Every structure is written in C-alpha cells, then in structure tokens.
C-alpha cells in the first residue's frame, strides 16, 4: 500500500485542562480531496492549526510525505509544501491583490516561475486579474477568499488545507468558490477541506470525516456520508 501524503494518528490537543482533540486519526492520499465536517466548536479548526504547526499537540503522530512533523515549525512546514488558508482568510488588507499573492511566494527565488504562477492564478481566479492593483481590504468577502486561496497556491503546496471557505459568503459566491476548489483538485492537488456546510463539502470531496466534540465519529466515502441517516439528520437538515 502506498503511504498517504498526510497521515495523522491518535492526535490529541489540549487547552489547559480541556481536551480539544481526543485522539483522532485521518489521512489524505496524494491527489485526494478529503472533507472534515462538523458543527461549530467540534475541533475542526484546532485540528488544522495542529497540522500547520500553529498549535503543539499533547501527543500523537503527524506524518507528511513519510516524515514526522514533530519539532517542525510552522514556517518549515510551509516550505515542505503544506499551505493553510485560515478561517477568516487572514489577508493583508492594506496591500494590493498582487502584493498579497507575491507574499505567498516570499520564500521562492525563481522569478520566472513566480511570474508563470501569477498568470496561472489569474486564469484560475479571473476576478483577481481585474482587481490586482486594488487594496485587498476593499474587496468583497468572496474576492478576499479568492485572494487567500491564490496566495496559498503561490507557495506551490502539495497539501492545501482550507478552513471554512464558505463562511460569510453569499450563495452565488459559495458556488463559485467551490467550483474553483473542484478545479484545483482536478489538477492533482491534495486538499483537506474543513467546512460547516456539509452538503457542499461532500459534493466535491472523495472521502470525508465527521467530527463531534473533538472526536471523529464517522468516516467513509463522500457518497456514503451523504446518504448516511446520521449525517442527514445532523448536518443536511433532512
């Protein structure tokens, strides 16, 4: 069996005396789009922060591309090809769209490759080409989400982690963002998608995990989870 690109085993994260993540396991194969769904406060964002190196787990293993990420700092993980698009987007509001995208490539040296990747981002997100000289803070929420995603892709990641990309967006913009996520996945990118909107997440994913109170309670193919009675009752309003 080929090792997954990301392999998480018995991951535990505590805040003081609170067990936020209670020994979860999950994996993402090369080129796979995996959804992690669950209600607000389930521990999804905490999981992503631990994977990105922004939080230190109490115990457990995180392996990426066959190597342990223990004692690997967040900026080093970024250099290894792990990119996080955070909840709330975290764009640089007083910088232009172009400057935001270039920040995603700050550790890269080959200028011709950066120019080629900028062109690719403008193909993937045509709206950003129109807005490239505009201050990012003046964009709509959906456009800011596009900036955050494009900035992450400018680092040329192998694993893209998305935290609640639909949050606060109008339905039409949610549709557009998820079409783009599907397009990125079709290019062979490995994606771990954290999302409260379970239906739209499972419609684009190949597999999924359901998280409740810091534990994974269900897992399976996206189709299995979409047809699960428990998922339909809890997350799809059916």
147 and 173 in a single domain? The answer is no
Give residue 111's pLDDT: 75
Contacts of 205 by beta carbon, 8 Å cutoff, 6+ apart: 33, 34, 35, 193, 222
The mean predicted confidence, pLDDT, of the chain is 92
From 117, 140, 156, the end of a domain falls on: 156
From 103, 127, 156, the end of a domain falls on: 156
Give the residue from 175, 132, 138 showing the smallest Cα distance to 154. 132
71 and 176 in a single domain? The answer is yes
Write out the residue range of the structural domain in which residue 184 sits: 1-81+157-238
For the chain, what's the residue count?
238
169 and 150 in a single domain? The answer is no
Residue 238 scores a pLDDT above 60: no
Give residue 62's pLDDT: 97
What is the tens place of the pLDDT at every residue in 183-199? Answer: 999 999 999 999 988 99
Domain count, the chain: 2
What is the tens place of the pLDDT at every residue in 44-89? Answer: 999 999 999 999 999 999 999 999 999 999 999 998 999 999 888 7
């Amino acid at each position: 069996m080929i090792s997954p690109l990301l392999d998480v085993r018995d991951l535990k994260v505590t805040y003081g005396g609170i067990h936020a993540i209670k020994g979860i396991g999950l994996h993402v194969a090369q080129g796979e789009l995996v959804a992690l769904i669950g209600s607000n406060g389930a521990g999804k964002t905490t999981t992503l922060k631990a994977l990105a190196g922004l939080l230190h787990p109490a115990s457990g293993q995180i392996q990426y591309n066959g190597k342990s990420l223990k004692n690997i700092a967040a900026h080093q993980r970024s250099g290894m090809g792990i990119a996080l698009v955070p909840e709330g987007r975290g764009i640089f509001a007083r910088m232009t769209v172009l400057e935001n995208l270039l920040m995603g490539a700050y550790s890269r040296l080959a200028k011709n490759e950066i120019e080629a990747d900028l062109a690719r981002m403008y193909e993937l997100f045509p709206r950003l080409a129109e807005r490239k000289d505009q201050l990012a803070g003046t964009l709509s929420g959906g456009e800011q989400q596009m900036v955050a995603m494009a900035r992450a892709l400018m680092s040329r990641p192998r694993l893209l982690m998305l935290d609640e990309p639909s949050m606060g967006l109008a339905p039409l913009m949610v549709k557009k963002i998820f079409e783009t996520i599907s397009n990125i996945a079709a290019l062979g990118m490995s994606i771990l998608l954290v999302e409260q909107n379970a239906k739209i997440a499972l419609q684009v994913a190949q597999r999924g995990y359901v998280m409740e109170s810091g534990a994974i309670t269900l897992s399976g193919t996206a189709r299995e989870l979409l047809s699960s009675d428990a998922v339909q009752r809890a997350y799809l309003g059916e």
